[in-house]
Amino acid sequence: MPEPISGPTHEPLPEPIPGPTREPVPGPATGSALEMRGVTAGYDRRAPVLHGASLTVGDGEAVGLLGPSGCGKSTLARVAALLHRPRAGTVRLAGRMAYGFRHRAPRELRTTVGVVFQQPRLAADPRLTLADLIAEPLRATGRRAEAPGRLPALAASVGLGGDLLARRPHEVSDGQLQRACLARALVLRPRLLICDEMTAMLDASTTAALVAAVEEYRREHGTALLAVGHDRVLLERWCDRTVDFGALLPR
C-alpha cells in the first residue's frame, strides 16, 4: 500500500510503479463508497481551488453537495472521480486508496465510479451513436461482448427507447443526450455515481425524469450517489443529506 500523500507539497507526487505491477493491491471492497481526507487541488499551485477538503459518502448513501458557482465543487467531483490529481490528501473509493489519477488511475478503482457532467454536448463524442456511447466503458474495459445483453434494459431504464439508440448526438435533444450520458455512467455498475450539475441545462420535467431514473437504479443496485449542484430545493428533495461546500473545509 503506498503512503498517503499528506501536507501541501511542491514536490511532484510519487509516480506509481510502471508495468504490470501497477495494478493496486486489492484492498477490502468495503466501507464508505467515497472517503476524501484533506484534499488540496487546483489548476495553479499558488492558488488551490480546494484546500484541505474532506468528505465521506457512505455505501449506498446519497449526498448532495451544495455551493455557489466557482467554489470548487466541480473540482472536488473530478478528484473523487480520479479525473484530476490532487496536490495533497487522500481519496479512498470503496475503501481502497487511490494513488493514481487521470490516465494513471488503476482500472479497478476507475470502474467503481461513474460520472455525469453538466454539459452533455461536451461529454459525448459526436461521432458515436448513442448505443456506442453508452457501451464505450464496456469497450474500454474489454467487455464489449456484454453490450448486447446489457444495453436494451439499461437504455430503457433511463428512458431511451428503440430507434434513439441508433442516432448520433446531433440528432437528439440535450435531455436525450444527457440520458445517454447517465446510462454510460452506469453501464459498469459503479459503486458510486457522481452527478455534477447533471440537470442544470434541463427543463423541469426532464430533470424530474432523470432524477427518478437515478433513484430507480439506486434502489435496485444500492449505488451510492454524490450529486453536486447549486439548487438547494432539488438536492434536498433528491438526497439523503446535503452538505454545504464550506463545511468540507477545515476551520
Q: Please report how close the Cβ of residue 228 comes to another protein at its closest, in angstroms.
A: 12
Cβ proximity to another protein, 108 vs 174, nearer residue = 174
Rounded Cα gap, residues 24 and 98, in angstroms: 9
* Residue 181 per-residue DSSP state: H
- Report yes or no: 218 and 225 within 8 Å, Cβ to Cβ: yes
- Report yes or no: 227 and 195 within 8 Å, Cβ to Cβ: yes
Cell of 202: 434541463
Check residue 47 for interaction with another protein (CB under 8 A): no
Q: Which of 108, 136, 174, 244 binds another protein (CB under 8 A)?
A: 174
Query: Which element (helix H / strand E) includes 65?
Result: strand 62-66
Taken in order 173, 178, 183, 185, the sign of the CA dihedral is positive
Check residue 244 for interaction with another protein (CB under 8 A): no
Q: Please report how close the Cβ of residue 170 comes to another protein at its closest, in angstroms.
A: 12
Hunting for cell 459503486 — which residue is that? 191
Q: Which of 12, 18, 20, 70 binds another protein (CB under 8 A)?
A: 70
Using CB under 8 A as the binding criterion, the count of chain residues that bind another protein stands at: 29
Find the part of the chain contacting another protein (CB under 8 A) among 8-16, 26-34, 87-95, 230-238: 230-238
Rounded Cα gap, residues 154 and 76, in angstroms: 28
Check residue 75 for interaction with another protein (CB under 8 A): no
Q: Please report how close the Cβ of residue 24 comes to another protein at its closest, in angstroms.
A: 37
Q: Please report how close the Cβ of residue 237 comes to another protein at its closest, in angstroms.
A: 4
Check residue 100 for interaction with another protein (CB under 8 A): no
Query: Which element (helix H / strand E) includes 113?
Result: strand 113-116
Q: Please report how close the Cβ of residue 85 comes to another protein at its closest, in angstroms.
A: 23
Cβ proximity to another protein, 201 vs 247, nearer residue = 201
Q: Please report how close the Cβ of residue 159 comes to another protein at its closest, in angstroms.
A: 7
Taken in order 212, 72, 184, 57, the sign of the CA dihedral is negative
Cell of 86: 490532487
Q: Under the rule (CB under 8 A), what is the footprint of another protein?
A: 68-70, 118, 159, 173-176, 200-209, 211-212, 230-234, 236-238
